[in-house]
Amino acid sequence: MRLSKSFIPTLKEVPAEAVIPSHILMIRSGLVRQLSAGIYTWLPLGYKVIRKIMDIIREEMNAIGGQEFHYPALNPKEIWEQTGRVEAFGDILFHIKNREYVLAPTHEEIVAYHAKGAVVSYKDMPQIWYQIQTKFRNEPRPRSGVIRGRQFIMKDAYTLDRSFEDLDKAYDLHDKAYRKIFDRCGLKYFVVGASSGAMGGSKSEEFMVKSDAGEDTVAYCEKCGYAANVEVAQSVSTNAKRHNESKPPYEISTPNVKSIDELCEFLKIDEHETAKSRVYVHDGVPVLVLMLGNDEVNESKLGSVLGGNVRSCHPDELKEISGADAGSIGPIGFKYRIIADNLLKDANNLYSGANKNDYHIGGIDLQRDVPGTEYFDLRTVESGEKCTRCNSTLEVFKAIELGHIFKLGTKYSEALGVMYLDEHGKEHPIVMGSYGIGVERIFACYLEQNYDDKGIIWKKPLSPFDIQLIGLNMKNATVTEASEKIYNDLQKQGYEVLFDDRTDVSAGFKFNDADLLGMPVQVIAGEKNLKDGKVEVKLRATNEKQIVELSNLNVKLKELI
Ligand code: ATP
Ligand code: MG
């Protein structure tokens, strides 16, 4: 492709709205342009990379027996109502005004719809159905460029199986295919156990890239490889103490003391001697959640423990439920269910709220005074805690989710009545799995991991071109003639070449653009070297340069690419 005839609008300045490297690079190198918040146009150079990513995904999905579909983005709302997901997605779901349609954020419902009455016998399974298609989600805070778009491209796959054992096989196939896809794309990633949400017990894993631009937080053990989303991550952490002697409970006047820090300061005690109270409403009934010291309730763990509908209690409901406002609530005298974090098990001589404004109670022995308390892992792991597997130290950091594999089970087939008959003529719901990859996220994560102060560093196979050929002074007849010939020869050899044949920009400008665009190899044709029958070859990644005889160029490039 000739640069003189291409629309590759490179920018010298960093656009104000872009803060993370991948976003800055995508805009500066003319790969993408924003149309509106979370909505982007892929320009030709960027779309070339998108197509390469999609090709890799297609090859690996086809290799595990996937069949490519193309489901419509415009969906009748009725199907989404049958599974309760119009409500579950809430504001994320785009609705078409005055029409009973939604724009699909994912396609479980549509897959189930087509499977119904068509996949009817155990003999019809297994099936792997996938597509690479545009998804719509009204993300509340679109940011980080294409990493969180309101319109984005997803590869989504769905498996249909007769049993959970067969689902395990389908899941493993996807796990392997995903590793191949991300390996081929040249990404450094890791896999974490994730929350399976409302589908309790079903396995779910996320493929993650470490990045400050990420919105997921994961705990990772470098020593043994344990990795988990903090929504589910576990750690070894110090329990509250059980003292030999349990004091009797006693009330303490604590005017204006609300937080754990204020309580510790006021009573000159350690955080580990206190229990923090949070009130939630579970299916309409209050629950007190007790945490050690300043530990925060991990609401995703709480959700898995309780099931059903959980929300935190509104401040104006607290007084009626507990007799006190936030900051003075505690386990003693609390009339509803009490659950506590595992770290509080067996603790005594604790301080907590008295369920009376401006009072706390000391000498609480949870065993003795609150015997019905149930204990669960409810806290969020922090950096520096010990790994439950190998006792080494956990690191907690931000990460970007590239993909997600998920054993759905029978939730959708039951909701939509998607049944099959087994070999004895007995009816069962089809067992489903769902597996997603964010195509743009692969692109952005590659950039996050492959750039320097000059621009992008592309490697095969995602690189939009193999070679950037730079004709230095295209007004000079020697250069023009020779570089045109090189351009043709290289293409005949099968290379994808971006030819900087512009006549109106300086050599320095061309060098900067070539480094910004980042093709793996630059072939630089200048008058001086050409007179000796030579060109300069530069490797973008290492900045290594060498002068190569034109007659030897093909051999040299074979070596390098
Ligand atoms: P996130 O937690 O980041 O919102 P998700 O859990 O909603 O992701 P899934 O519903 O599992 O994501 O979608 C499958 C894949 O689609 C994700 O792993 C991610 O790579 C991609 N993806 C999801 N939402 C977006 C988005 N708004 N923009 C770009 N890619 C996305
Ligand atoms: Mg999401």
Q: What are phi and psi of 297, to 5 degrees?
A: -70, 130
pLDDT-based confidence at 198, cuts 50/70/90?
Answer: very low
Minimum-distance ligand 1 atom for the alpha carbon of 403? 18
Return the residue whose CA atom lies nearest to atom 4 of ligand 1.
Answer: 148
Contact predicate 301/377, CB 8 Å: yes
Residues 341 and 67: their CA atoms lie apart, in Å, by: 46
Query: Which structure tokens are listed for 183?
Result: 């390996």
Instruction: Note the ligand closest to the C-alpha atom of 216.
Output: 1
- For the stretch 481-522, pLDDT in tens is 999 999 999 999 999 999 999 999 999 999 999 999 999 999
Contact predicate 254/360, CB 8 Å: yes
The bridge status of strand 337-341 relative to strand 310-312 is unpaired
Q: Is the pLDDT of residue 240 over 90?
A: no
Q: Is the C-beta atom of 362 inside 6 A of ligand 1?
A: no
Q: Is the C-beta atom of 403 inside 6 A of ligand 1?
A: yes
Domains along the chain with CATH numbers = 3-71+105-210+399-447 (3.30.930.10), 250-376 (3.90.960.10), 467-560 (3.40.50.800)
Tell me what percent of the residues of the chain surpass a pLDDT of 90: 90
Q: Is the C-beta atom of 145 inside 6 A of ligand 1?
A: no
Most informative mutation of 195, 401, 405 for ligand 1 (most atoms within 8 A of CB): 401
Return the residue whose CA atom lies nearest to atom 19 of ligand 1.
Answer: 438
Report the separation in Å between the CA atom of 299 and the middle of ligand 2, taken as the mean of its atom positions. 17
Q: Is the C-beta atom of 148 inside 6 A of ligand 1?
A: yes
Rounded to the nearest integer, the mean pLDDT of the chain is 94
**Cis peptide before 105, with omega less than 30 degrees from 0?**
no
Instruction: Note the ligand closest to the C-alpha atom of 152.
Output: 1
The bridge status of strand 227-229 relative to strand 216-221 is antiparallel
Tell me what percent of the residues of the chain surpass a pLDDT of 70: 99
What pLDDT shows up at residue 537? 98
AA identity, residue 496: E
Segment 115-124 shows an average pLDDT of 96
DSSP class per residue in 112-132: HHHHTTTS-BGGG--EEEEEE
Instruction: Note the ligand closest to the C-alpha atom of 138.
Output: 1
Q: Is the C-beta atom of 40 inside 6 A of ligand 1?
A: no
Instruction: Note the ligand closest to the C-alpha atom of 148.
Output: 1
Q: By three-state DSSP, how is residue 274 classified?
A: strand
Q: Is the C-beta atom of 405 inside 6 A of ligand 1?
A: no
Contact predicate 211/281, CB 8 Å: no
- For the stretch 54-100, pLDDT in tens is 999 999 999 999 999 999 999 999 999 999 999 989 999 999 987 79
Most informative mutation of 42, 91, 441 for ligand 1 (most atoms within 8 A of CB): 441
Q: Is the pLDDT of residue 214 over 80?
A: yes
Minimum-distance ligand 1 atom for the alpha carbon of 438? 20
CA-wise closest residue to 421 among 120, 23, 54, 126: 120
Return the residue whose CA atom lies nearest to atom 6 of ligand 1.
Answer: 404
Q: By three-state DSSP, how is residue 184 classified?
A: helix
- For the stretch 390-404, pLDDT in tens is 999 999 999 999 999
Give strand pairing partners of 535.
548
- For the stretch 151-180, pLDDT in tens is 999 999 999 999 999 999 999 999 999 999
Query: Which structure tokens are listed for 515?
Result: 């480094």
Q: By three-state DSSP, how is residue 230 classified?
A: coil
- For the stretch 445-469, pLDDT in tens is 999 999 999 999 999 999 999 999 9
Q: Any idea which of 198-207, 243-252, 308-317, 330-339 has the lowest mean pLDDT?
A: 198-207
Angle at 109 between CA 104 and CA 114, to 5 degrees: 115
SS3 content of the chain, % helix, strand, coil (to 5): 30, 30, 40
AA identity, residue 21: P
AA identity, residue 547: I
Q: Is the pLDDT of residue 201 over 60?
A: no
Q: Is the C-beta atom of 217 inside 6 A of ligand 1?
A: no
Q: Is the pLDDT of residue 199 over 50?
A: no
HSE-CB of 457 using CA atoms within 13 angstroms: 15
Contact predicate 442/53, CB 8 Å: yes
Residues 468 and 518: their CA atoms lie apart, in Å, by: 8
- For the stretch 12-47, pLDDT in tens is 988 888 999 999 999 999 999 999 999 999 999 999
Q: Is 87 exposed, middle or buried (0-12, 13-18, 19+ CB in 10 A)?
A: exposed
Segment 122-141 shows an average pLDDT of 96
CA-wise closest residue to 192 among 341, 381, 5: 381
Return the residue whose CA atom lies nearest to atom 1 of ligand 1.
Answer: 401
Tell me the C-alpha to C-alpha distance, in Å, between residue 219 and each of 254, 401, 441: 37, 14, 21
- Strand segments, DSSP code E, in 298-393 are 310-312, 337-341, 350-353, 359-364, 374-376
**b/e code 255-266 from CB counts within 10 Å (16+ = b):** eebeebeebbee
Q: Is the pLDDT of residue 200 over 80?
A: no
Q: Is the pLDDT of residue 194 over 80?
A: no
Report the separation in Å between the CA atom of 555 and the middle of ligand 1, taken as the mean of its atom positions. 44
Instruction: Note the ligand closest to the C-alpha atom of 136.
Output: 1
Contact predicate 214/399, CB 8 Å: yes
Count of CB atoms situated within 10 Å of the CB of 516: 19
Query: Which structure tokens are listed for 330?
Result: 């505690």
Most informative mutation of 404, 405, 435 for ligand 1 (most atoms within 8 A of CB): 404
pLDDT-based confidence at 196, cuts 50/70/90?
Answer: low
Report the separation in Å between the CA atom of 155 and the middle of ligand 2, taken as the mean of its atom positions. 15
What pLDDT shows up at residue 462? 98
DSSP class per residue in 81-93: HHTTHHHHHGGGS
Return the residue whose CA atom lies nearest to atom 14 of ligand 1.
Answer: 436
